[in-house]
C-alpha cells in the first residue's frame, strides 16, 4: 500500500476530524503510506486544487474539533451532478471523470466517510473498480450494518442538554415545551434523548401519532399536579393518516400557520388550552466538539479502515458490533436502512416508565 | 423584622432559585424572620394556596437548578389583569385585593424578583404602601441602575456555545450561519455573544442595518478565502427605514416567507447566492443551571435584598456597581431602560476587530 | 409480583438515580407493585429507618442528578461487617439477620445496583434464597458479562475534558502533563480517555511499563518539535518487575517522595530533565450529572431488571450486549472480571496512531 | 504607529489567545501596523527565532482555544535570569540585552500580557524607555487596579462544576469532601466558587482558620441531618498561629502525612471521626476554552491596549472598572496587590447564608 486518499461527504458530524486524523496517522506510522485529502467530497477529484497531501502536521490538534478540515459538499453525487447550463438546471453523470482522476492518482485505497448518500456513491465507484472502504457517519444513526455511527452520541448529548434546559422553564411557567430534533426517517435521536432528558411524549417517524393521544397525556399530567409537559419530536414524525389537516370543534379546518411538525404539534396543543412553545434544535445538533465516545469511535473507525485497506478487503464498511470494530460488505450495510425496532427493549422501557408515543 | 415574603415574576432566568435560597437563609439565619413564598408571581396573593412557608429545608439543593421553585406568571400584572368574562377578554385592576392580602399577611417586607414589568408593578405597590425591595432579573440585561442582571451571563454562555457549534458547520459547508438571539429592545446578548463567539456580523436593535452592508461583508470574506460567515442577530434587530420590504433584481417585491428577523436575513443572503441557514436559539437561552457568575450574583442580590429590608430602605432595588452590591431607588432604576452604548468601548472594539454591524 | 425493593451499594456513580427512577416507575406503572427503597446499601435492612416506601413523587426530578437518593455504604458487606466492640475491630457475619429482614418484608424481588462487591453479596444472598436481580454499575467498567456499565461514559467525558484542559497548558508551557485516572485493576478509563483526549502515553494495569520507554517517547516528541507530552495513567498502572524502586545515574536509589503512580511517573520524568506536573482527577470522575448515554443505559437497566423480576428469573444480572439489554447469570458475570483485551482493536488502534503504552 | 509587539508571560490562563487575536486584528485593521509575536515571554527577545510576524491568518480560529500560541515562560524575568554555568546556578541581569533587542526591532509599542511578575518586569522596562502597555491576567484575580482579570471567570466555572460533582458524592456517601483551589495569597477563587458551589466551609488566606471551628460546623450539620459537608479551601489558607502543628488527644503531636493544606484539613477532619476526602483541582483550573465572559473581557483588553498605545499613553495597564475598559498607571495597579475585602458584601453574604470561614 503506497498511497491512500480520504474524503468526507454529506452533512458534517462531530468526529469527522478524528477519523481523518486516525486514517492519516495509521497510514503513515504503520504502513508508511502517502496520504491524500480530497476537498469537499467527491467534487475534489475534479475541481482545481481538490487534492492535497496530508501529513502528521496536517492533523495536529484536530481531534477535539467539530466540522471537517477537508470540507464537505451536501450534493456532491458524481453520478447525478446538478449544473446550470444556458440558464437551465441539468443533471449530468461525471462519474467517469472521477474514476479517471482516481486512476491517475494511483490510489491503493479511497476511504470515504459519510452517511447513506456518500456510501452509496462509494459502492457505485467500487463497482467501477475503485478500491473503496466506507466509514459510516450520521447524526441520525440510520445507517445499517453497525450498532452505532459516530456523531450520534454528540447529537444526543446536545439534545439531552436542551431538554434539561427546557424542563426548568416548562416547570416554572406551567408550559408544554416541544423540542423538534433531527431524524427524517429514523427516530433514534428523539427516542434516546427523550428518555435521557425526561420527556413525557416522544414522537418518531416509525410510530404515526394521534393528536388526541398527546392531549390525553398532557391533560393527565396536569390533573395529576404536573402542570407542564416535555415533548421530544423527530422532524420526520407524522400524524396517523387523515390527520395531516386536522379539524377541531369550532374551527372549519385547522391549518397550521408555518414551520415543521414541532410547530404544528405545539400549535395544536396551544389550541386545546395549554400554553405551549416550540424550539427547533436544528444545526446545533451537528456542530462542535465531539463527545469522548464519538472521538473514541471515530478514531477506531479511521484506524480500522486503513487496516481493512491494507488487507485488500475493498467494498467494505467498518462497523461497531458487540463492542468490537469489524468490517461488513458495503452492499449489505446499505441494503436496509436502520430504523427504531418497535419491539426492542428501548420502546418497551419507554412505555413502561410512562412515556407516550402518541399512539395509545 | 418578623416576616418577609418573596416572589418571582416574568420570564424565568437562571439564578432565580439562588436568590430565593439566599433570601430564605439570610432572613432565617441573620434576622430570625419567618419567610413566605408567593406562588406564580403576584397572582399568589389572591389565589388559593398561593402563599407557602419557606424554611431551610425548602431551599436545600436548589442553588444549581434553573427555573424557580415558586413558579412565575408571564402576565401577572395585578393592575391590568386579563380575565375572560362572558366569553370576552377584560382587563381589570385587582391591585387593591393584592394590597389587602399583603396587609393581612403582616409582611415587614416583600422581595420581588423580576424584570422591567415585575419591578414596575413593585414600584406601584410601593406607592400604595407595600414595603417592596426589588431584585433585577433579565436575560437581556436591559434593566437600568445596575451594571448587570443575573441570568445574562448564563444566556451568553449558551449563545456563545451555539456560535462555537455553528462555526464548525459553517466552515465545513462553506455556509453563512445566522443565529437569532433574544433581545427585543436591547442588543446585549447578540453583542457580547457575537464577540465571544467570533461572529462576523452582529445586528442589534440599537443599530438599524442595511442589507447591502451585510452582503458586502459576506462577499468580502468569501473573496478573501473565508467561504463562510457567522451572524449573531438580536430578535429585535431592524433594517434601516424603507427596507422592511426589500426589492431585488428579478423579483417584483420580495416578501420573506415566514419567521423572525433571523429568518428574513438568512433568506435575503440566500437569494444573493450564498448558502445560508438560520437557527433560533429561543428558550434554550433561559433554562438550565446558572453559571458560577450568575449563582454568585444572584446569591449576593438575595442576601443584600434582605439586609436592605432590615434597614427599612423600601422602594429600592439591589444593583451591582463597581464590583459591589449596593441599592438604588426603584424609580431611578426603571426611569431609563438600559441600551447598548453606541460610543462605548465594546462597539469600538467590535468594529476594530473587523465585525460589521450592518451599517457601514 | 406485589412488592419489590431496590438498593445501591459501593462507590457512587452517575446514573444510580436513573436506575432507581426506572425501577420505581416500571414497577408501579406496569406491574402495580409496591416499591421499597433500602437506605445505605444492605445496611438498610438492619438499621432503624432503613426501609422507605418509593412512589412516583419520590423519583420526580432525579434523572439528571448524580449520587443516589438511597445513599450507599462503601463497606456494607453483611457477610463481613466491620464493627468496633470493646475497642477492637471485629468482622462479623450479619447475613442471616439481613435475610430474615428481607423475609419479613415479603419481597418478591430485590434489585441490587452495584459493582463487583455489591453483586457478589447479591449472589450469596441469592444462594440463601433471596430473589435477587443485579444491575451492574462501575466507573471502571470492570464488571464482566456486559459490554459496558453505566457511570463509565460519564467518567470518560470528565477525564477527556480534563485532558483537553491539560493539553493547552502543556503546550503553552512546554511541559509533560500527567493525569492519574481511576482504574485499580482495569485500564479502561485511561485507555479510552487517553485516545479521546489525545494522550501520547497511556499506562494501564494490564501492561506493565518501563520508565525508559516513557522517556524515549517524551524525548522523541521534543526532538520532533512537540515540546510537550500528555500522559493518561491508571491509578493501578505498575512498572515492570524490578523497577518499583528505580535507580538513576547520580542517585543511589531513587525513592519517590509521595503519592500515587501518577506522582511517581511525573517525578521520574522531571528528574530526566523535562518539566512535569501531575494532576489526580480522583473523585471528580464519579460525581455530577450523568451523560445522555449513561442516563439512557441506566434507565434501560432499571426497567429490564423489573421485567426480569416479573418473569421470575432471579440470580441474574441485566447486561448490554450487541446494543440490546439482556440478562445473564450473576455467577457467570462475576466469574471473570473484565480487563482490557490486549489483542483487541482498541490497543492496536492506539499503537497505530503513535500512542506508547510504555512497553516498547 | 508602525510596529507593535505582543508577548504572554507567567502561568497560562484561558483568554490569552483572545487578547493576542484582538491586539493583532485591531493593530492591522485600525492602525495598519505590523505586529510581532514574541515567543515564550521576554525570553523571545534574546532567543533565536523568538520573534515572529503575526497577521490575520495567524490568529484565525484561536478565540475559543486555551493556552497561548506564543508560549510562555514561568520564570522569564530578564532582570534575574537563572542560568547554569560551570555546574552552578547563577542569577544574571540580561535586561540590557532585552532592551537593545527591542530597540533594534524599532517597536512603537510592546504589549505585555501577564500577572504580577510579568507586569512588574514591564514596569521596569518602561522605566528603561520601552513603550510598554500592560494587560492584566491572573487565574487568582489578585492584580490591583482592575475589578477583574480574564481567566478568573473560567477558573470559577471549573471550580464550581467540581463542587457540584463532589456534592453528589458527599451526599451519597455521607462524607466531608474538601476541594483545594488555587490562591496562594488571595482567596477569590475559593470564596466565589465556594458560594456558587454551595460550600459549607470556605478557607482563604485572608482569614486564618481554627480547626475546632471547622469541626463544629461539620458536626452541627451532621446533627441537623446533613451527614455531609463541602469545603472550598485556597491553597494558601493558613491555620491561626500556633496551630501549624496541632495536637490531638491521644497523639503526641500530629504531623500530617503529606500534601497541601487541603490534605491537612481533610486528615484532621478524618481523625475527628468523620469520613473525609480531598481533591486538588490544580492545573485543571487554568486550561481549556475560556468562558464567554473571559473571551469578551480578553478581547476588549486586547483592543483597548492597542488604542492606548496609539494614543502614546505608555506605562499604563488596561483595566475593567464600572463595566468600562479604561487604563491606569502600571505603577499604581501594582502598588497594592488585590485581596478579599473582609468587610465587603461578599463575606457578609457568605456568613449570612451560613457559610463558615473557620474563624467563628
Residues above pLDDT 70, as percent of chain D: 94
Q: What angle do CA D294, D177, C235 make, to 5 degrees?
A: 85
Among B123-127, B244-248, C344-348, the range scoring the smallest mean pLDDT is B244-248
SS3 per residue for B255-290: CCCCCCHHHHHHHHHHHCCCCEEEEECHHHHCCCCC
From the list C123, C191, C124, C187, the residue with the least C-alpha distance to C338 is C187
Chain D contact present for C171, CB below 8 A = yes
Q: What stretch of H or E contains B122?
A: helix B116-127
pLDDT at C199 over 80: yes
Residues of A in contact with C147 (CB under 8 A): 322-323
Chain A contact present for B12, CB below 8 A = yes
Mutate which: C166, C345, C351, vs A, most A CBs within 10 A: C345
User: Using one digit for the tens of pLDDT, what is the confidence trace for D86-106?
Assistant: 888 889 999 999 999 999 999
Average pLDDT of the segment spanning C164-188:
94
Coil vs helix vs strand at D136: strand
Mutate which: B151, B297, B353, vs D, most D CBs within 10 A: B353
Chain A contact present for C118, CB below 8 A = no
Give the pLDDT confidence score for residue D242 in this predicted structure: 59
Chain A contact present for B266, CB below 8 A = no
pLDDT at A91 over 80: yes
Chain C contact present for A55, CB below 8 A = no
On whether the CB atoms of residues D84 and C189 are closer than 8 A, the answer is no
Which residues fall within 8 angstroms of residue D311, CB to CB, at 6 or more apart?
none
User: Using one digit for the tens of pLDDT, what is the confidence trace for D265-324?
Assistant: 999 999 999 999 999 999 999 988 999 999 999 999 999 999 999 999 999 999 999 889
Which residues fall within 8 angstroms of residue C237, CB to CB, at 6 or more apart?
C187, C190, C203, C204, C205, C209, C261, C265
What CA–CA distance (Å, rounded) separates A242 from B251? 37
Which set of grid coordinates corresponds to residue B90? Answer: 377584560
Question: In which band, very low, low, confident or very high, does the pLDDT at A241 lie, cut at 50, 70 and 90?
Answer: confident
Strands A88-92 and A81-85: antiparallel
Q: What stretch of H or E contains D327?
A: strand D324-329
Which residues fall within 8 angstroms of residue D190, CB to CB, at 6 or more apart?
D159, D181, D183, D202, D203, D204, D232, D233, D234, D237
Number of CB atoms found within 10 A of residue B16's CB:
32
User: Using one digit for the tens of pLDDT, what is the confidence trace for D32-78?
Assistant: 999 999 999 999 999 999 999 999 999 999 999 999 999 997 667 89
Average pLDDT of the segment spanning B122-151:
95
Q: Which residue of B has its CA nearest to D352?
A: B26
Residues of D in contact with B26 (CB under 8 A): 349, 352-353
Residues of C in contact with A324 (CB under 8 A): 344-345
Average pLDDT, chain C: 92
pLDDT at D258 over 60: no
- ipTM comes to 0.93
On whether the CB atoms of residues D213 and D269 are closer than 8 A, the answer is no
Mutate which: B349, B351, B356, vs D, most D CBs within 10 A: B349
What CA–CA distance (Å, rounded) separates B320 from B296? 12
Which set of grid coordinates corresponds to residue C250? Answer: 547520580
What CA–CA distance (Å, rounded) separates B323 from D340? 12
* Residue A37 φ then ψ, to 5°: -105, 130
CB contact under 8 A, A66 and B259: no
C152-173 and C292-310 helices cross at what angle (nearest 10)? 160
Average pLDDT, chain D: 92
Average pLDDT, chain B: 92
What stretches of B49-136 adopt beta strand conformation (E)?
51-54, 81-85, 88-92, 109-114, 132-136
What CA–CA distance (Å, rounded) separates B330 from A77? 63
On whether the CB atoms of residues C67 and D168 are closer than 8 A, the answer is yes
Average pLDDT of the segment spanning D218-231:
95
Please say whether the dihedral angle defined by the alpha carbons of residues D66, D69, D74 and D78, taken in this order, is positive or negative. negative
Question: In which band, very low, low, confident or very high, does the pLDDT at C218 lie, cut at 50, 70 and 90?
Answer: very high
On whether the CB atoms of residues C199 and C230 are closer than 8 A, the answer is yes
Q: Is A290 exposed, middle or buried (0-12, 13-18, 19+ CB in 10 A)?
A: buried
On whether the CB atoms of residues D122 and D132 are closer than 8 A, the answer is yes
What CA–CA distance (Å, rounded) separates C274 from A58? 26
Q: Give chains near A: 3+ CB pairs under 8 A.
A: B, C
SS3 per residue for C317-357: EEEEECCEEEEEEHHHHHHCCCCCCCCCHHHHHHHHCCCEC
pLDDT at C258 over 60: no
Which set of grid coordinates corresponds to residue A206? Answer: 416509525
Average pLDDT of the segment spanning C306-327:
96
CB contact under 8 A, D345 and B153: no
pLDDT at D255 over 50: no
Q: Taking a contact as any Cβ pair under 8 Å apart, which residues of chain C between 189 and 248 contact chain A?
A: 192-193, 195-198
Question: In which band, very low, low, confident or very high, does the pLDDT at C101 lie, cut at 50, 70 and 90?
Answer: very high
Which residues fall within 8 angstroms of residue C83, CB to CB, at 6 or more apart?
C89, C90, C91, C92
Give the pLDDT confidence score for residue C275 in this predicted structure: 93
Chain C contact present for A81, CB below 8 A = no
Full set of structural domains in chain C with CATH? 3-151+288-321 (3.40.50.450), 153-285+342-352 (3.40.50.460)
pTM: 0.94
Coil vs helix vs strand at A219: helix
Please say whether the dihedral angle defined by the alpha carbons of residues C221, C223, C226 and C230, taken in this order, is positive or negative. positive
SS3 per residue for chain C: CCEEEEEECCCCCCCHHHHHHHHHHHHHHHHCCEEEEECCHHHHHCCCCCEEEECCCCCCCCCCCCCCCCCCCCCCCCCCEEEEECCEEEEECCHHHHHHHHHHCCCCEEEEEECHHHHHHHHHHHHCCCCEEEEEECCCCCCCCCCCCECHHHHHHHHHHHHHHHHHHHHHHCCEEEEEECCCCCCHHHHHHHHHCCCCEEECCCCCECHHHHHHHHHHHHHCCCCCEEEEEECCCCECCCCCCECCCCCCCECCCCCCHHHHHHHHHHHCCCCEEEEECHHHHCCCCCCHHHHHHHHHHHHHHHHHHHCCCCCEEEEEECCEEEEEEHHHHHHCCCCCCCCCHHHHHHHHCCCECCCC
Length of chain C: 360
Q: What stretch of H or E contains D166?
A: helix D152-173
Question: In which band, very low, low, confident or very high, does the pLDDT at A75 lie, cut at 50, 70 and 90?
Answer: low
Give the pLDDT confidence score for residue B243 in this predicted structure: 61
Q: Tell me which residue has cell 463509565.
A: C152
Question: In which band, very low, low, confident or very high, does the pLDDT at B83 lie, cut at 50, 70 and 90?
Answer: confident
Closest approach of chain A CAs to the CA of B159, in angstroms?
11
Q: Give chains near D: 3+ CB pairs under 8 A.
A: B, C
Average pLDDT of the segment spanning B175-188:
96
Chain B contact present for D338, CB below 8 A = no
User: Using one digit for the tens of pLDDT, what is the confidence trace for C27-40?
Assistant: 999 999 999 999 99
**Cα–Cα separations (whole angstroms), residue A243 to A54, A255, A267, B229:** 53, 11, 14, 41
**Cα–Cα separations (whole angstroms), residue A6 to A3, A102, B303:** 10, 12, 59
| Side-by-side strand order, sheet with A176-181 | A201-203, A229-234, A176-181, A276-280
User: Using one digit for the tens of pLDDT, what is the confidence trace for B198-234?
Assistant: 999 999 999 999 999 999 999 999 999 999 999 999 9
Question: In which band, very low, low, confident or very high, does the pLDDT at C328 lie, cut at 50, 70 and 90?
Answer: very high
Calculate the dihedral angle through the C-alpha atoms of C179, C184, C188, C194, rounding to the nearest 10 degrees.
10
Which of D8, D68, D172 faces C12 most closely, judged by CB atoms? D172
Question: In which band, very low, low, confident or very high, does the pLDDT at D125 lie, cut at 50, 70 and 90?
Answer: very high
Q: Tell me which residue has cell 433594517.
A: B239
Which residues fall within 8 angstroms of residue B207, CB to CB, at 6 or more apart?
B187, B342, B357, B358, B359
Question: In which band, very low, low, confident or very high, does the pLDDT at B252 lie, cut at 50, 70 and 90?
Answer: very low
From the list D102, D98, D94, D76, the residue with the least C-alpha distance to D9 is D76
Question: In which band, very low, low, confident or very high, does the pLDDT at C257 lie, cut at 50, 70 and 90?
Answer: very low
What CA–CA distance (Å, rounded) separates D7 from A155? 39
Amino acid at each position: 500500500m503506497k498511497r491512500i486518499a480520504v474524503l468526507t461527504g454529506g452533512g458534517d458530524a462531530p468526529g469527522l476530524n478524528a477519523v481523518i486524523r486516525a486514517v492519516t496517522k495509521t497510514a503513515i506510522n504503520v504502513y508508511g503510506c502517502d496520504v491524500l485529502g480530497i476537498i469537499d467530497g467527491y467534487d475534489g477529484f475534479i475541481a482545481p486544487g481538490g487534492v492535497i497531501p496530508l501529513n502528521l502536521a496536517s492533523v495536529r490538534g484536530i481531534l477535539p474539533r467539530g466540522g471537517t478540515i477537508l470540507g464537505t459538499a451536501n450534493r456532491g453525487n458524481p453520478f447525478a451532478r446538478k449544473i446550470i447550463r444556458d440558464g437551465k438546471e441539468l443533471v449530468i453523470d461525471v462519474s467517469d471523470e472521477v474514476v479517471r482522476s482516481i486512476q491517475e492518482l494511483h490510489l491503493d485505497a479511497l476511504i470515504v466517510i459519510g452517511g447513506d448518500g456518500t456510501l452509496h456513491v462509494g459502492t457505485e465507484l467500487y463497482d467501477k473498480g475503485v478500491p473503496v472502504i466506507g466509514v459510516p457517519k450520521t447524526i441520525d444513526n440510520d445507517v445499517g450494518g453497525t450498532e452505532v455511527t459516530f456523531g450520534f452520541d454528540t447529537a444526543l448529548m446536545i439534545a439531552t442538554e436542551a431538554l434539561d434546559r427546557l424542563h426548568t422553564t416548562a416547570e416554572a411557567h406551567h408550559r408544554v415545551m416541544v423540542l423538534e430534533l433531527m431524524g427524517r426517517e429514523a427516530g433514534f435521536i428523539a427516542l434516546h434523548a427523550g428518555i435521557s432528558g425526561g420527556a413525557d411524549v416522544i414522537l418518531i417517524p416509525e410510530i404515526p401519532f394521534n393528536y388526541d393521544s398527546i392531549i390525553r397525556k398532557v391533560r393527565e399530567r396536569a390533573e395529576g399536579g404536573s402542570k407542564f409537559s416535555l415533548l421530544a419530536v423527530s422532524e420526520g414524525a407524522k400524524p396517523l393518516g387523515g390527520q395531516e389537516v386536522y379539524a377541531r370543534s369550532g374551527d372549519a379546518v385547522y391549518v397550521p400557520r408555518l414551520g415543521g411538525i414541532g410547530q404544528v404539534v405545539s400549535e395544536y396543543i396551544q389550541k386545546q388550552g395549554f400554553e405551549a412553545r416550540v424550539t427547533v434544535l436544528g444545526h446545533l445538533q451537528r456542530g462542535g466538539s465531539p463527545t469522548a465516545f464519538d472521538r473514541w469511535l471515530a478514531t477506531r473507525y479511521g484506524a480500522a479502515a486503513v487496516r481493512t485497506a491494507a488487507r485488500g478487503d475493498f467494498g467494505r464498511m467498518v462497523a461497531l458490533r458487540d463492542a468490537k470494530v469489524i468490517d461488513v460488505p458495503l452492499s449489505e450495510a446499505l441494503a436496509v436502512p436502520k430504523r427504531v425496532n418497535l419491539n426492542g427493549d428501548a420502546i418497551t422501557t419507554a412505555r413502561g416508565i410512562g412515556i407516550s408515543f402518541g399512539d395509545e
